[in-house]
Structure 1
Amino acid sequence: MMQTISSYSTAYKGNAAQVRKADRTRKDRSVERVLVRIAAASLLFVLLFAGLSLLTGHADGERPAGPSEAEQVITVGSGDTLWEIASSIRHEGDDIRRIVFDLQKRNNLDSSELKAGQTLIIPLSS
């Protein structure tokens, strides 16, 4: 009688109880992997949402009160700066830095950066 060598191998060595236990362990590991992925995705979503909610734009700020009779509304043109606008309404002896600060405060601006088309409330020149 001749014997042949087989390269076939089975993963099921042992009795049926051991096979069922191995299947349960494999299923438990796959469930754990899915739960870890869901937890990681949830954490990523929460972190992204929190990060984006911290970002604020200029449009979120409060609008300034309407202009009084001693003020006028101007529209910022392309290339205009707050410093140029302040120097155009400056009187002799006025500190330009104070005028820029007052314009920022009056218009609820965080910085001296302006955008074309933006409206500003400035005092009338007398």
Structure 2
Amino acid sequence: MTTISMYSTANPGKGSITHTATRSRQERRAERLLIRLAAATLFFVLLFTGLTLMTSHANSELPAQPTAEEQVIIVGSGDTLWEIASDIRKEGEDIRQIVYALQKRNNLSGGSLKAGQSLIVPAD
């Protein structure tokens, strides 16, 4: 017959194997919660940073300086984009494309202009 002994020589002076203390269920749960909170915080910080960088580059209100080929005009009282576009339009050009080019070049979100405002007429 075989005898199984629980005696260990690893821990002299103790007659049986000692089990290492395991962490309680609450400690493991708290550790997982802290890891999740740290991951969520990191995610939101990265998301906020990315959105901030995107909006800071997308909302530049001032257009770039005009090049030598571009013309700068001053808006008069009562002028509209359509009138200015019709004045600078060449034969056969679509006025809608000219209005769009003026809006894009001058970072205009709508068609409203102010008297004394400078507009850059893009070169062809």
For normalisation by structure 2, the TM-score amounts to 0.49
Q: What TM-score do the two structures reach when normalised by structure 1?
A: 0.48
